[in-house]
Amino acid sequence: MLFAGGALFFSLFTGCKQGIGDRCEVPGDCSSNFCVQTASPGNGICCDQFNLAACPIPQTGSGGSSGTAGAGGTSQTADAADAPTSTTDDGSTGSGTD
């Protein structure tokens, strides 16, 4: 009688584990202890972590299309007024051109 009571008590807290392909929320829900999340939050599928090719994970789409290149830029030539300047130790400035 004590054994039957202990078995019943233990079974109330362990429950059944889901099989491969069944719905899960956390890895502990699965007999394989491996739950792959799907696109829907809180809904996963129990899978065999050593055979993911057989895992029935639903595909959600094919992805987006390729982007296009940007427009070409323009080239400008710098004149002496645009040349960088620097300050020397004596405080005078010199231009970056010679």
CA angle 4, 33, 26 (to 5 degrees): 100
Residue in this structure with the two tokens 């030539």, named with its chain if needed: 77
At 28 the pLDDT is 92
- Find where tokens 């005078």 sit: 92
Q: Give the pLDDT score at 29.
A: 92
- What is residue 5's predicted lDDT score, i.e. its pLDDT? 53
Structural domain boundaries in the chain:
19-53
Per-residue pLDDT of the chain (98 residues; tens, 9 = 90+): 655 555 555 444 556 888 988 999 999 999 999 998 888 877 899 998 888 887 876 666 666 677 787 777 777 766 666 666 666 677 666 555 55
- What does the alpha-carbon distance between residue 61 and residue 35 come to, in Å, rounded to a whole number? 21
pLDDT of residue 78: 61
User: Which segments of the chain are extended strands (E)?
Assistant: 23-24, 35-37, 44-46, 85-87, 93-95
CA distance 18 to 83: 73
